[in-house]
Every structure is written in C-alpha cells, then in structure tokens.
Amino acid sequence: MIALLAADVLVVLAGHGLLRLAGGGRPIRRLGVLGAGSLAVLSGATLLALATTVAGVLGRSTRPWPLLVSVLVVLAAAGLLPERGVRRAADGADDQRPTHVGDLASAAVSAAFGLRLAGWVAGLPVWHTDEAAIWAYRGRLLSLAGHLDPRAFLGVQVLYPTQDYPLLVPALIAWSDAWLGRPADGPARLQLAALFVAMLMVTGWAVTRLAGSFAAVAAVLTVAAMPGGLSHVAILLTADLALLAFALPLVLVLALWVRTGERMLLAAAAVLAAGAASTKAEGLLLALAAMAAAGLVAPSARARLRLAVAAAAAAAAAAPWVVFTRLHGVESSVINGGTLSPASLRRTLPMAGAVATAVRDHWPGSPALVALLLVPAALLAAARGQGRLLAQIAVTAAIATAGLYAQYVVSVQGTGAAAAAYIEGHVWSTAHRVLLFPAVLCALAVPLLAGAASRTAPDQPPPDTAEPPVDSPAIRI
C-alpha cells in the first residue's frame, strides 16, 4: 500500500507539472493551495489515462514501467521549473482573507465526505454487473495482460453495449493493481474516491470565488449529498462518478475564466475536458456543452479564440482512442450508422414524447424542490447583474440534457407497446447515472446563483489583455 500511495503522489505531482507547463506559471501562486492541489489530482488522473491509452494504442506496455512512470516523472519535474519574469506583488495584493474561510470550510467538508466514502468502499469487492463486465474487466486486461488487446472486444463482450468507452477508469484500476502486485478491488475504488474529493474541493474553491464562502459550503453539501444520484453511483467501480468529477469542475473553472481571463484556468479547463472525454462516451458531449456555453458568454472574440484552442487540445487528446476503436471496428451502440439511419429514426422519433415523459418522471434527485428554489435564485441573479453566469449554467445544462435525451430517443428498441415498456424500464434503470451531471448542475446552481446575486460586484468580464499580469496573486473575486 505504501508503494501505491507513493505512486499516487507521483501522479498528482505530474498533474501539477502539466498545469505548470500549460498554464505558464506556478499553479499554487495563480490558483491558491486548494485550487492547485485539487486540480492537480484531476489533471494527474487525466494524464495517466492519456498515457495509458497512447501506450496501449501503440502496442506498448500498459504497466507502470517503463513508459508510464517515465512520462509522469518528467512532468512532475517540469512542475519544479522556476517561473520566469515573476515580480513581487504589491503590498497586500496576496491577501487571501476573503477566500480563506470558504477554502478551509470547503476542504474540511469535502475531506469528511471523502473519508466516509473511503470507509464504505475500501473493502467492497466487484459485485455490480457493469463493474465486472466493463470496468474491472478492462482494468485487469491492462494490468494482467499488460497491453491493450483488440480481442478483448470480441466474444461475449460484443453483446455488451459499451464497447467504445475510454480507458480512464480501467487505467486507474490497472495502476492500483500494478503497485499492489495483485488485483484488488478496494484500493481501486479508493482511486475513484480521490476523484470524488477533488471534485468537491474544486467546487468549494470555485464557488467561494464566484459566490462567497457560505455559498461554497452549501454547494459542496448539495453535490455530495445529492439524493438519488451520488448515493447510487459513488460506491461503484464505474465511470459515472469519474465523469461527474471532471465535468462539474469544468463548468466552474470556465465560469471563473470568463470573469478573470486567467490563462491557468483555461489550461485547467482543457485538461478537465480531456479527462471528461476519457471517462465515458458522454464525456465528449458534456465537455462540448461546457465549452460552448463558455464561448457564448466569453467577453470577446479573442477570448473565444483561446477557448477554441483549448477545446481543440482536448479533442486531440481524445483522438488516439477514437482512432483505435474505429480501426478495430468498435463502435458506439447508441450513436452509429444503424441507429441514425432513416429507417431507424422513422421508428424511434415517434417515441420522443414517451422518452420525455420518462426522463421527467425519473430525473435524479428532488427535481420539484430544485425547481422551486432555482427559479427565484435565477431571477435574483439576473436582476443583480449575474447574467453571464446564469446564461452559462443554463446553456450548459440545456445542451447536456438535450444530448442525453437524444441518446435515449435514438436507442429505443421495439415498436408500440413494446417500445413504451422498453423506454420506461431503460430510463428507470439508467437515469440516476446518465442524467446525473445536468441534475447535479441544476441543484448546484441554487447556492451558486443565490450567493453570486448577494455579492456587491456585478458580473463584469475582464479587460481583453493578452495575458494576466505575471505577478497576479491567487485568484480571488
């Protein structure tokens, strides 16, 4: 276990190094301790997933030695590079007292939830069908076989409708197994628990700066205690929690970037988008939704161009897995030539109303309560000059929900009463995880918008400068 802990520290340091290189400065100086540390965890997991994927696609070993460790060590060392051109900040410029309370409180609440989750999952074996058939199966393929074998997608696996899912969670499982010297389900679950804690900490850190300390603590509690959502998926060795752990911070980091124009935030957003795309097929959709919404409210064409570059970098990171699956005939069971054919669409589109009803009836959490609180919070935010933030959250949720809804529609099986029964059963059994991101985002929007509206400063974009000042202190708003 000590070897695994040391290896995980290396992953976090490599994530820090990636942010250092992409962001053009020291993450702790630009983002503060909580923001830099939690984003380094997520960035490190993204880096490990991408390195494992590239190694597997190229036919190299997917075990830690020699390639993966070498890449991580190089990037961890890059995080130690001195920051060129740094000037001493003006007296008082680095006073972080307004955000210290929110950061400390958010970190404490997040750690408490993380420890509770770790206590639940540390001793759990693989027991769920999806755990065994998708994630543990592929993770053990990478750790035991030591390479990515296309034959893993043949045989009985052909019958399972998730062939094109990327390798972030399997990579974490294989990483854990390798350093323990044996397959072990509990430690693999702890890797996902670390992503859960990082997500909560990024949430608290970002909301503190967007809406204040009280809103930050309320946001962390809202996300962690999401009824009917995280309570179902957080204990599973699947990619649903990992997807949320990247997609939700992506939205909040982009909201901060729209306000500040800080290059480090845009670099972190690109890494988070790549991480989301490395979890599940829906990750590309959620990353696109977040970046499209940020582009809509970006303050200038120049800012939108920078965002487009970041989006292109995230898409390039997803390309190796897409190329591998296409070369080996591995396609999505939902979005493919069959489901999008005219004949299939003529059969499924008439069922769109039934799908909408099922989505409404099985929306995760407490949708009526969220709507009751969200409407006045949104109206107050609009009246208090928080239109950009409100629009960004609304557009992100709308695009994500529309895409996931379309996925349900085109995947309908059967006709007539058989199709209606299929829709009810399928949405009932999957909505708590498929619709988790938009549901959590809508719930999170309540404290975020209410807290932002209570602040005296209106939602003003930054001046359109090429770079933030090199001596800018950690972000505070």
**Which pLDDT belongs to residue 155?**
54
**Which pLDDT belongs to residue 153?**
67
Query: How many of the other CB atoms lie within 10 Å of CB of 425?
Result: 11
Q: Give pLDDT tens digits for 137-195.
A: 889 989 999 998 877 766 555 556 677 889 999 999 999 999 999 999 999 999 999 99
**Which pLDDT belongs to residue 473?**
47
HSE on the CB side for 380, CA within 13 Å?
Answer: 17
Return d(Cα 286, Cα 399) in angstroms, integer: 8
**Which pLDDT belongs to residue 469?**
44
Distances (CA, A) of 290 to 122, 216, 303, 434: 33, 20, 15, 17
Q: Give pLDDT tens digits for 339-349.
A: 889 999 999 99
Contact in structure between 19 and 271 (CB atoms under 8 Å) = yes
Higher-scoring residue by pLDDT: 83, 37: 37
pLDDT-derived band of residue 329, with 50, 70 and 90 as boundaries? Answer: confident
**Which pLDDT belongs to residue 300?**
93
pLDDT-derived band of residue 95, with 50, 70 and 90 as boundaries? Answer: very low
pLDDT exceeds 70 at position 224: yes
Return d(Cα 98, Cα 452) in angstroms, integer: 14
pLDDT-derived band of residue 107, with 50, 70 and 90 as boundaries? Answer: very high
Residue 471 DSSP class: T
Closest CA to 189 of 254, 242, 150: 242
Q: Give pLDDT tens digits for 379-427.
A: 999 999 999 999 999 999 999 999 999 999 999 998 889 999 999 999 9
Q: Is the dihedral of CA 165, 169, 175, 177 positive or negative?
A: negative
**Which pLDDT belongs to residue 92?**
33
Q: What residue type is 36 in one-letter code?
A: A
Q: Is the dihedral of CA 41, 43, 49, 51 positive or negative?
A: negative
**Which pLDDT belongs to residue 229?**
58
Element (H, E) at 467: none
The model carries a pTM of 0.93
pLDDT-derived band of residue 94, with 50, 70 and 90 as boundaries? Answer: very low
Contact in structure between 175 and 61 (CB atoms under 8 Å) = no
Percent of the chain with pLDDT over 70: 89
**Which pLDDT belongs to residue 327?**
86
Q: Give pLDDT tens digits for 290-326.
A: 999 999 999 999 999 999 999 999 999 999 999 998 8
**Which pLDDT belongs to residue 474?**
52
Return d(Cα 286, Cα 283) in angstroms, integer: 5
**Which pLDDT belongs to residue 96?**
47
Return d(Cα 329, Cα 415) in angstroms, integer: 28
Contact in structure between 267 and 310 (CB atoms under 8 Å) = yes
Total residue count of the chain as it appears in this document = 477
Residue 132 DSSP class: I
What residues contact 395, with CB distance under 8 A and at least 6 apart? 289, 292, 293, 296, 297
pLDDT-derived band of residue 85, with 50, 70 and 90 as boundaries? Answer: low
What is the mean pLDDT of the segment spanning 45-62? 95
Higher-scoring residue by pLDDT: 222, 96: 222
Mean pLDDT of the residues in the chain:
88
**Which pLDDT belongs to residue 225?**
85
Tokens, residue 389: 């933030």
What is the mean pLDDT of the segment spanning 224-230? 73
**Which pLDDT belongs to residue 292?**
97
**Which pLDDT belongs to residue 457?**
57
**Which pLDDT belongs to residue 462?**
60
Q: Is the dihedral of CA 189, 195, 199, 200 positive or negative?
A: positive
pLDDT-derived band of residue 86, with 50, 70 and 90 as boundaries? Answer: low
What is the mean pLDDT of the segment spanning 335-363? 91
